[in-house]
Structure 1
Amino acid sequence: MPVPDLSSLPAPQIIEEISFEAILSAMMDDATARFAAAGVAYDVGNLETDPVKIVLEAAAYRETLLRARVNAAARANLVAFSTGSDLDHLAAFYDVTRLDGEADEALRRRVILAISGRSPAGPEDWYKTAAMRASPRVKDVAVYRVGTGPDIRIAVLATDNFGEPDAALLAAVDAEVQKNSVRVISDRVTVLSATSATVNVVADIWLLPTTPMTVFEGLEANLRAALASEGGLGFNVTRSWLAAKLHQPGVQKVSLSSPVADVVVDDGAAVKVGTVALTFKGRDR
């Protein structure tokens, strides 16, 4: 079951819109009505120096701050909005603890996984939760069964090293998912790298007449960084995507000769960049 996207939910009704002008207007209307009931004509509300308006402006501002504080307290109790120590307390309710250096968004995702993975018999999210708490370096995980037997594969994608997990990260994940408190007794679990496909890039590059050579020199690093940022499990690396990432500002033309076809992977695999051979072909208008 996919992890729910909380950002797609409508705004909760417990959090109301705040408008200083609307609050002030309601207070001014109330004051005018009270003066009228007392038989007093009040017609100076538009004057900036009117003492009644000055006092009500201060009161409206304080009410705006109070409502904002109530809204903040409401958000702190919702997984989708909670941050910092408030999110830590929500996570603790689901037996999830923030890892060293872990950002709020990563912790929030693990909380949601922990909730959805609590059903019995080791569902996908159960193992995924365990794998992702092994290290903050785990960017994503794919869990799948080989055939109909007890063999479970856990494919790991790293946050660093362009997605390729090193031996230490794989060992950390393996140690976590093999615990008696995690692994279902009938399962045989194997941890492996998710980056099972490699794309080698060969391309000719033309620059515009005034483009500095530093643009060409940085193309490989930009390409690797783009795949690390945008790629992930199930992300297909197409020829058009590669050409677009090489076509940085200042590049006039890109002629891609490798790969000769799109690199397509399944949902449990990721693509990594192998060798990158770029040839500067000159300048063109």
Structure 2
Amino acid sequence: MSTLPPELANLPAPSLVETISYEARLAVLRTRLVEIFTAAGIDYDVQDLETDPAQILLQVSAYQDVLLRQRVNEAIKSWFLAYATGGDLDALAQFYDVVRLASETDDALRRRVVLAIQGRSTGGTKARYRSIALAADVRVADVAVYTVGRDPTINVAVFSTSASGVADAGLVAKVDAALQAPDARMVNDKIVVASAAQQAIAISANIWLLPQAPESTLAAVEAYLRAAWSRDMLLGRDLTRSWLIAQLQRDGVHRVELVAPAADIAIPFNQAGALGAVSLVLQGREY
């Protein structure tokens, strides 16, 4: 499922995109066929007969018409950043001097294109620095660019795609090199790059399975939690107990008792929660 940047999420669909209905197209063709027979003085009264060859041909024609119109819709959508995918998105991105990184997803590339557009000013804008940092390596999941008080130092917090979210020294150095490049950094800017995920958060829960659930359910639940963490827990998102319980309440799980964390954890906008040790303890089976 595609996740659009906020700048694109609420845009209306292009007016050129047509709403297509097979039934509506078939009705139009049937009406035209009756008109042709009537004009020829022929009383055509078997249009509701499924075995009528004319009706079979109309159905085939209507289906082909729908396929053609859908292909036109898809071609139109490929012109727009919010809808383009694959090679079409690569072509749009190239117009803004943005090139897809190796194994980069459409969502990530689309976000970088938006930032590239916003950051076209050479005045060291936040969007420009974010765009450069995200383009430094495909392992950069998110970036926060900020200053503290009156200190002009530009801080860049890097959140990694790794399971923990912690950006290792190599990744931090790579982002730093991209931002410190002569054609990237403004002359008077002092840029400091660090990992956004600083402290691992341990997760502990007691789990009761349904009677028919296999033992492997616990491993599947942990895998789902880790995947959801990588997808949702980006910069600035608070870690709530309700979110954790929702991720643990998977198929085969009867009940979840979350032990740790004991309370919701507020995450500053320039940090992200790193996933620490996960302990899921089987307490038995209930129904």
Q: TM-score range by the shorter chain?
A: 0.7 to 0.9
Residues 183-231 of structure 1: per-residue CA shift (max 9 Å, x gap): 122211111101134434566x364595766556777666554433321
Following superposition, the deviation at residue 245 of structure 1 comes to 4.8
Instruction: Please show how residues 48-63 of structure 1 align to structure 2 within 5 Å.
Output: 48-63=50-65
Q: 1:25 to 1:239 in 2, by over 3 A?
A: closer
TM-score by length of 1: 0.84
Q: Which residue of 1 aligns with 2:257?
A: 254
User: Is structure 2 residue 235 aligned with structure 1 residue 237?
Assistant: no
1:206–1:284 CA contact under 8 A, matched in 2: no
2:116–2:127 CA contact under 8 A, matched in 1: yes
Q: 1:201 to 1:48 in 2, by over 3 A?
A: closer
Q: Which residue of 2 aligns with 1:130?
A: 132
Instruction: Please show how residues 214-225 of structure 1 align to structure 2 within 5 Å.
Output: 223-225=225-227
2:157–2:194 CA contact under 8 A, matched in 1: yes
Deviates more, 1:224-233 or 1:104-113: 224-233
Q: Unpaired runs of 5+ in structure 1? A: none
Q: Unpaired runs of 5+ in structure 2? A: none
Instruction: Please show how residues 1-285 of structure 1 align to structure 2 within 5 Å.
Output: 3-201=5-203, 205=206, 207=208, 210=211, 223-242=225-244, 245=247, 249-250=252-253, 252=255, 254=257, 256=259, 258-275=260-277
Q: 1:50 to 1:264 in 2, by over 3 A?
A: same
Give the superposed CA RMSD. Answer: 3.0
Q: 1:219 to 1:17 in 2, by over 3 A?
A: closer
1:131–1:176 CA contact under 8 A, matched in 2: yes
Deviates more, 1:102-111 or 1:244-253: 244-253
CA distance in 1: counterparts of 2:65 and 2:286, whole angstroms: 63
1:4–1:112 CA contact under 8 A, matched in 2: no
CA distance in 2: counterparts of 1:244 and 1:176, whole angstroms: 39
Following superposition, the deviation at residue 5 of structure 1 comes to 4.4
Equivalent pairs, count: 282
* Amino acid across the alignment from 2:37: F
TM-score by length of 2: 0.84
| Percent identity between the two aligned chains | 43
Residues 3-43 of structure 1: per-residue CA shift (max 9 Å, x gap): 53423323222111222221121122122123323333222
Residues 131-185 of structure 1: per-residue CA shift (max 9 Å, x gap): 1111111111111113234310111111113211111111111111111221122
1:246–1:254 CA contact under 8 A, matched in 2: no
Q: 1:225 to 1:34 in 2, by over 3 A?
A: closer
